Homo-oligomer: A and B are copies of this chain.
Amino acid sequence: MDSNKKFLNGTLNTIVLALLRENGKMYGYEICQLTKEKTDNKILLTEGAIYPTLHRLEKDGLIISSKEKVNGRTRKYYAINQSSLQEVESQIDLLSQFTGHLRSLLNLTT
């Protein structure tokens, strides 16, 4: 059914980077919701995956966090670390190439 889960491994890092680059800044919960909506419930990011990923990317210096209180709830926003922008672009490009190669290797058209 929603077994897209098993394909996610390895790509989550780059999904997050790509969404942040496109949307400026986002918080964890928002990333999950947006992904869910944009893929028609097909790619479901779990909180147990997204938060460790965000922490990892921040530790690696690729993104930067800032807390904001909105409607009494604390949101932790993340944005691309501009000094790592090149590295980020490069990683996104690699994923793009990978999916391209994969689709041609497997003659996928969908």
A42 within 8 A of B: yes
A80 within 8 A of B: no
Q: Copy number of this protein in the oligomer? A: 2
Closest to A99 in B: B99
Collect the chain B residues with CB atoms within 8 Å of residue A10's CB.
6-10
A95 within 8 A of B: yes
The stretch among A57-65, A66-74, A101-109 that forms the contact with chain B is A101-109
- With A7-B14, A7-B98, A9-B9 already in contact, 11 other A-B pairs whose C-beta atoms are closer than 8 Å: A4-B97, A7-B10, A7-B95, A22-B107, A38-B104, A42-B97, A42-B98, A95-B106, A95-B108, A99-B99, A100-B110
